[in-house]
Amino acid sequence: MLYDLTKAAHLIALFIWVGGMAAVALALRYPALIHMKSLKAYDRAVSSPAMIIALLLGISLGVQGGWFTSAWLGMKIVLVLGFSGLHGALVGKLRRAVQDNASDAKPNGKAFLFVGLALLTLIVLLVTIKP
């Protein structure tokens, strides 16, 4: 029961985190300063805390499942660290765009969407298959 509740909370936090990252990547791809300011506040209040919660709950799931000696979990942790780094890079670009008053910013962020999707796909495959 505790494992199931932890897993559900982990997934909810993950969905919130990924949704926030996707919104930031799209805002960088199609810049509009008014949206970027709102997303910066949203990330600070919602997406970043959701990331921390997802990471902590993921550690809890690993402990509850006894998987810390599994190779697949080691690979997943590396990918999750990359995904967290991607979040940091996105937020950094967003903050710079807002700070520079980027109403005339050039579109960028396309690579973030592809890299994020690739990392997320690999993470889900590892968790599902547990090779």
The one-digit pLDDT tens for each residue of the chain (131 residues) are: 999 999 999 999 999 999 999 999 988 888 777 888 899 999 999 999 999 999 999 999 999 999 999 999 999 999 999 999 999 999 998 998 888 876 555 666 678 888 999 999 999 999 999 88
Handedness of CA 13, 33, 112, 90 (dihedral sign): negative
What is the value of pTM for the model shown? Answer: 0.89
For every residue of 90-129, DSSP letters joined together read HHHHHHHHHHTT-TTPPP--HHHHHHHHHHHHHHHHHHHH
Closest CA to 71 of 129, 19, 120, 31: 129
